[in-house]
């Protein structure tokens, strides 16, 4: 369990039905690939059995969101995802939880890097990552179809943004640096 000024981050099991309801909310999932899937309590119980999922709640036990953690032990990295309920957006809960869990994963769990990604159009998530100390690492142009249209040319597209937060907090990626020239053979 992780405690912040306003939040408690703990295993998801107690809030599983709320999590499923949010995953099936098309408005909440409009910038997530989860919008293409119909979720059930059974599908999420299977998912949670294979992945680390956490509940974000207030002291008065009100669930405000969830976190997912995918570990890559071979590379000593972790991919982090977050979902904040519609009724709780804009109050700083996402930034508070994302900062707390990413700092904890880097400092206490010995991961060298926490990764996260989102659609360019998902401005709340971009703001959360920036405020949590993540830096933009890369971008995939026109990777997602936001809304399907009668023709492919008319589809509304969004870039995929990749962010990272590093163990060496002073290490920041501001621009691309070319590797040294190869040695002559």
Residue 52 covered by a domain? yes
pLDDT at position 135 = 95
Asked if residue 178 belongs to a domain, the reply is no
Q: What is the pLDDT of residue 20?
A: 80
| Contact residues for 20 (Cβ-Cβ < 8 A; gap 6+) | 39, 40, 41, 44
Any domain includes 55? yes
Full residue range of the structural domain in which residue 24 is found: 2-166
Could you tell me the CATH number of the domain that includes residue 130?
3.40.630.30
pLDDT of residue 64: 94
Dihedral sign of CA atoms 180, 77, 66, 47 in order:
positive
How many domains does the chain divide into?
Answer: 1
Q: Which pTM does this prediction carry?
A: 0.78
CA distance 116 to 114: 7
Sites in the chain below the pLDDT cut of 70: 35-36, 50, 108-109, 148-154, 168-185
CA-wise closest residue to 146 among 125, 160, 128: 160
- Residue 183 falls inside a structural domain: no
Residue 122 lies in a domain: yes
Q: What is the pLDDT of residue 170?
A: 42
pLDDT for res 38:
85
For residue 176, what pLDDT is reported?
38
Residue 112 included in any domain: yes
Q: Is 61 a domain residue?
A: yes
Residue 150 has what pLDDT?
58
Say if 179 falls within a structural domain.
Answer: no
pLDDT score for 36: 67
């Amino acid at each position: 369990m992780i405690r912040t000024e306003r939040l408690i981050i703990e295993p998801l099991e107690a809030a599983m039905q709320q999590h499923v309801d949010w995953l099936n909310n098309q408005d909440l999932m409009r910038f997530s690939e989860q919008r293409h899937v119909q979720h059930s309590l059974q599908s999420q119980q299977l998912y949670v059995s294979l992945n680390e999922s956490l509940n974000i709640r207030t002291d008065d036990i009100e669930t405000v969101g969830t976190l997912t953690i995918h570990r890559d032990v071979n590379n000593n990295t972790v991919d982090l995802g977050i979902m904040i309920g519609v009724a709780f957006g804009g109050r700083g809960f996402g930034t508070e939880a994302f900062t707390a869990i990413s700092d904890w994963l880097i400092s206490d769990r010995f991961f060298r890097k926490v990764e996260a990604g989102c659609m360019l159009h998902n401005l709340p998530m971009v703001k959360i990552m920036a405020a949590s100390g993540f830096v933009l690492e890369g971008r995939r142009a026109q990777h997602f179809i936001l809304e399907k249209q009668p023709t492919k040319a008319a589809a509304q597209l969004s870039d995929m943004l990749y962010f990272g937060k590093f163990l060496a907090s002073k290490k920041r990626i501001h621009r691309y640096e070319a590797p040294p020239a190869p040695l002559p053979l």
